[in-house]
């Protein structure tokens, strides 16, 4: 991985981990947001189905503009599209606070 890509990954680590977490512990609300975002991404000229532009190899499809895996980025409510096709909905801290106030608990991983 190139140093530039590695630095970019670490600078976005909160958004990446949020997307990974929301991909593992699925909720209907996050999946609805991901679906709406996907409709914008799948017709975008910057979507990379092959993976040549992915910051993390093997995580395609990804965004050729920012290098993020769409599987994770679409589910990160604190992420926004780098070319403004969709916006961040809330920072991760606010999302966690909202879930706590609503009594939401992450789903447990099934064996």
The 10s digit of each residue's pLDDT in 80-94 is: 999 999 999 887 777
Mean pLDDT confidence for 12-31: 84
Identify whether 62 is part of a domain. Answer: yes
Number of folded domains that form the chain: 1
Identify whether 19 is part of a domain. Answer: yes
Identify whether 109 is part of a domain. Answer: no
Identify whether 107 is part of a domain. Answer: no
Q: Which residue has the tokens 């991909």?
A: 23
pLDDT computed for residue 63 by the predictor: 94
From residue 111, alpha-carbon distances to 59, 98, 104 in Å are 24, 28, 21
pLDDT computed for residue 107 by the predictor: 42
Range of the domain at 53: 3-101
Q: Which residues of 6-41 are buried (b: 16+ CB within 10 A; e: fewer)?
A: eeeeeebeebbebbeebbeeeeeebeebbeebbeeb
pLDDT computed for residue 5 by the predictor: 59
pLDDT computed for residue 108 by the predictor: 40
The 10s digit of each residue's pLDDT in 39-58 is: 999 999 999 999 998 888 89
């Amino acid at each position: 991985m190139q140093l530039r890509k590695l630095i970019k990954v670490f600078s976005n680590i909160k958004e990446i981990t949020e997307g990974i977490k929301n991909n593992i512990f699925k909720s209907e609300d996050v999946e609805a947001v991901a679906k709406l975002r996907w409709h914008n991404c799948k017709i975008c000229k910057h979507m990379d189905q092959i993976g040549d532009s992915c910051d993390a190899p093997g995580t395609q499809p990804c965004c050729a503009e920012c290098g993020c895996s769409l599987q994770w980025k679409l589910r990160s409510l604190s992420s926004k599209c780098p070319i403004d096709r969709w916006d961040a909905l809330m920072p991760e801290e606010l999302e966690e606070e909202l879930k706590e106030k609503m009594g939401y608990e992450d789903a447990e991983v099934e064996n």
